Structure 1
Amino acid sequence: MGGGIDQGKSLRVLLAVTHAGFGGVAKHVIDLANLLREHGCKVDIATGSERNELMQEYERVSDNVIKLKYLKRSISLLDDILVFKEVEKVLKSSSYDIIHAHGPKAGFVFRLVAAKLSIPCVYTHHLIVYKQFKSLLNPLYKILEKIASSVGDHVIVVTKINKDILVSEKIVKPEKVSVVYNGLIDFSTKYTKKQAREKLNISPDDFVVVYVGRLEPPKDPLTLAKGFQDFCKRYNDGTKKYLFFVGDGPLKAKLPNDGNITVTGFTNDVELYLAAADVFCLTTTKEGLPISILEAMKYSLPIVATNVDGIAEQVFQRVNGFLVKPFFWQEISHALGEIYTNGELREKMAQESRRLSEERFDMRKNIVQILHIYRSITENYSISKKSLR
């Protein structure tokens, strides 16, 4: 089985993730695989095949992709029983030094199977599932997380607030949890503002607001649309103002799609819209540490975002943006107005966004913390095994 390694020996790592669908978790796994291989690790990815939009990316950044038939995000009694045997078979057939799981379902299954087979296992909480959504099953999810955390070797959280929750609710012992921010690998920008606006046929004097994400109720794009419309009414001064919703989802049909507001649908060129923007908005009601905000910060954008979960660890009031209350379109309108009318504040926020992104959210720096966690755990396994001889 896996177990300990010698210091300096390259690690064989299995990244386990619930699916290969679009989203911040999958993007993080792709970046993590890239960086681990740069540090000399051998990296496989085990994933469910329920969604496969990013499967080719998984294949590009890993040594091998293991597709699991029964690992699915949705609850299915039969599949959820069969996946334990499926994962056990995979882990018995390979020799991994450490497993790093992502996503609630993968995190639960792999921690339990790894504990059974005495393989070191780390789990990253991108969000705390029983805190994120209203569900009658939340008490069960909380119990399951406590069980998995007790047998897993270490938990990584992407926000300090999530560490506080897990420790205060006695889900994880303080010594078994670390905060490691998600981040970006590449801080170069694809377009200048001039280039992006020319491609989008936007004047240099126009004011552009951009949202990036799924158009679904938890993201609450409707409140942003209402706040933007109010902002346009209050500053009806002849300057053209645009709001681009870069994304798709069930609320697309409910959003205005007129001369001021455009719904782009999914695009592989999100950076085009970020480069053209004056401000980035995210009005989500539940979130971990959104990658979309980090991408916007890379483009030196002031941020207007709801003050939920880890967003307050990315956006600081009147430093690099404004934090607003969920569902309060009036606060969005007011924040946009301040950014629009105060050029000095807008420039200061732009500079701070870029500075904070490089200082706090550089994955090339943060990977050192993750490798340290891997080494500490595998060395402890090695010492334990020697003591049993």
Structure 2
Amino acid sequence: MKIIQVITLSEPIGGAQMVLFNNTEAMVNSGHEVQVMVGQEGTLTKRLEALNVKVTCIPSLKREISPINDFKCYKTICELLKQEAPDIVISHSSKAGILCRLACHKIGMPNIFTVHGWSFTPGVKGLKRYMYMAIEKVMGRFTDHLITVSAFDFNLASKHGIVPESRMRVIYNGSPDFLKEERKEAKEDPITLLMTARFSYQKDHMTLFKALQNLKDAPIQVDLVGHGDLHQEFVDLSKKMKIDHLITFHGESNDIPSFLNKSDIFVLTSRFEGLPLSICEAMSVGVPIVASDVGGVHEMVRDGYNGYLIPKENPDHLAEKLSNLIRDRKLIAELGKNSRKTFLETFSTHQMAASTEKYIEDILKKNSAK
């Protein structure tokens, strides 16, 4: 098959970029021809080019809304798709998803939009949520098929009538296996807590910081990996809250597996999510997950089995669960073992890619029968 994937941004690298990369790598290894269109060069394009994947940069593909620029981008996508004539087009991210679906509809080309968490999901602030919902209802008319990365998002789309359920499929995000060596139960202090997330409103580092105020004297080291608009604000805040002695700010990293393999507990305090790839990655190395119960997180984390679900914006509950784990190394090992099991059963790159390939085959087979 010839497949084109389209995404708005090449960096910063987030879940959507990594899902696209992981799927592309797996499909190329399966013998398919995959090309990628993206708005600009960056980390993603470098990784794709290392796979010998053809990458086309479309400078007019930008996140910001600009009617003139967006129309130019739409025309460019139409021309490129006619020229390349793929069997199917898969788009990721809001802007690329809108322009790509319109272009595919115009030229009669099969398309899939991958939903990495709806922009109208509960937790999105104010009127934006209702505006995004209205946009997606309109875009449903131009959408052949949807991949939702969680049953939560599938049900949300069904509830609001985005597209019929027959044109959607749940395909969980998947991660490569990052485990370097089997974990040992005992470990010297301190216990290492890891959170890999950009510093943004969505990821809600404030809840973690407030919880850490209750754990000031605990034998822990907190590694925060990621950048973002609020990064410096939280560096300053850690000093003001007198928890900076616990925290190391690492910024962006191209070596997440090293941080994961050195960690004991993975934390993710989000206000809203789709299905976080960072949790897939953490489960692969066999650590307990302590995460906000938002979006599809409850489909990954079973409370008391491979970690704990925390009500969003609840630092006291978070501190309590972290404290329980910090005091009990055997519990860390037990929950971590179950995380690893969950990953192998459901959330590997192989399973994600195989499910995506099967969905494409089903779509093309159905179309050829018409």
Q: Distance in 2 between matches of 1:276 and 1:192?
A: 12
Distance 1:126 1:369, change over 3 A: same
The yes-or-no answer on 1:32 pairing with 2:23 is: yes
Question: 1:24 deviation in Å?
Answer: 0.8
The yes-or-no answer on 1:251 pairing with 2:230 is: yes
Q: Which residue of 2 aligns with 1:66?
A: 56
Q: Which residue of 2 aligns with 1:157?
A: 148
Give the TM-score normalised by the residue count of structure 1. Answer: 0.87
Q: Which residue of 2 aligns with 1:381?
A: 367
Q: Distance in 1 between matches of 2:258 and 2:181?
A: 7
Q: Are the counterparts in 1 of residues 90 and 112 from structure 2 also a CA contact under 8 Å?
A: yes
Q: Distance in 2 between matches of 1:262 and 1:191?
A: 24
Q: Which residue of 1 aligns with 2:135?
A: 144
Q: Which residue of 2 aligns with 1:7?
A: none
Q: Which residue of 2 aligns with 1:183?
A: 174
Question: 1:64 deviation in Å?
Answer: 1.1
Deviations 1:331-378 (A, max 9, x none): 111001111223332221011000001101022123222122212222
Distance 1:306 1:137, change over 3 A: closer
Secondary structure in structure 2 of the residue aligned to 1:323 = strand
In structure 2, give the amino acid aligned to 1:375.
E
In structure 2, give the amino acid aligned to 1:126.
H
Q: Which residue of 1 aligns with 2:275?
A: 289
Q: Which residue of 2 aligns with 1:315?
A: 301
Q: Distance in 1 between matches of 2:99 and 2:130?
A: 18
Q: Are the counterparts in 2 of residues 324 and 332 from structure 1 also a CA contact under 8 Å?
A: yes
Q: Distance in 1 between matches of 2:246 and 2:347?
A: 33
The yes-or-no answer on 1:46 pairing with 2:37 is: yes
Question: 1:133 deviation in Å?
Answer: 2.6
Q: Which residue of 1 aligns with 2:354?
A: 368
Secondary structure in structure 1 of the residue aligned to 2:43 = coil
Q: Distance in 2 between matches of 1:17 and 1:367?
A: 17
Question: 1:228 deviation in Å?
Answer: 1.9
Higher mean displacement: 298-307 or 339-348: 339-348
Q: Are the counterparts in 2 of residues 209 and 242 from structure 1 also a CA contact under 8 Å?
A: yes
Q: Distance in 2 between matches of 1:154 and 1:61?
A: 27
Secondary structure in structure 2 of the residue aligned to 1:217 = coil
Secondary structure in structure 2 of the residue aligned to 1:46 = strand
Q: Distance in 2 between matches of 1:18 and 1:74?
A: 10
Q: Distance in 1 between matches of 2:247 and 2:143?
A: 47
| Runs of 4+ in structure 1 over 6 Å off | 191-194
Question: 1:191 deviation in Å?
Answer: 6.2
Across the two proteins, how many residue pairs are aligned to each other?
359
1:340 maps to which of 316, 326, 330: 326
Q: Distance in 1 between matches of 2:129 and 2:216?
A: 41
Give the TM-score normalised by the residue count of structure 2. Answer: 0.91
Secondary structure in structure 1 of the residue aligned to 2:61 = coil
Secondary structure in structure 1 of the residue aligned to 2:215 = helix
Q: Are the counterparts in 2 of residues 191 and 272 from structure 1 also a CA contact under 8 Å?
A: no
After TM superposition, list the pairs within 5 Å mapping 1:1-389 onto structure 2: 11-21=1-11, 22-49=13-40, 52-61=42-51, 63-131=53-121, 133-184=124-175, 186-190=176-180, 204-233=188-217, 235=218, 240-253=219-232, 254-255=234-235, 256=238, 258-384=244-370
Distance 1:193 1:248, change over 3 A: farther
Q: Distance in 2 between matches of 1:34 and 1:274?
A: 22
Higher mean displacement: 100-109 or 249-258: 249-258
Q: Distance in 1 between matches of 2:226 and 2:269?
A: 14
Q: Where does the alignment leave 5 or more consecutive residues of structure 1 unmatched?
A: 1-10, 195-202, 385-389
In structure 2, give the amino acid aligned to 1:231.
L
Q: Distance in 1 between matches of 2:142 and 2:317?
A: 44
In structure 2, give the amino acid aligned to 1:123.
F
Distance 1:27 1:275, change over 3 A: same
Secondary structure in structure 1 of the residue aligned to 2:369 = helix
Question: 1:137 deviation in Å?
Answer: 4.3
In structure 2, give the amino acid aligned to 1:362.
S
Secondary structure in structure 2 of the residue aligned to 1:161 = helix
Question: 1:287 deviation in Å?
Answer: 1.3
In structure 2, give the amino acid aligned to 1:244.
D
Q: Distance in 2 between matches of 1:277 and 1:69?
A: 39
In structure 2, give the amino acid aligned to 1:110.
C
Deviations 1:161-185 (A, max 9, x none): 100010111111011110000101x
In structure 1, give the amino acid aligned to 2:227.
D
Q: Are the counterparts in 2 of residues 297 and 353 from structure 1 also a CA contact under 8 Å?
A: yes
Distance 1:173 1:354, change over 3 A: same
Question: 1:18 deviation in Å?
Answer: 1.2
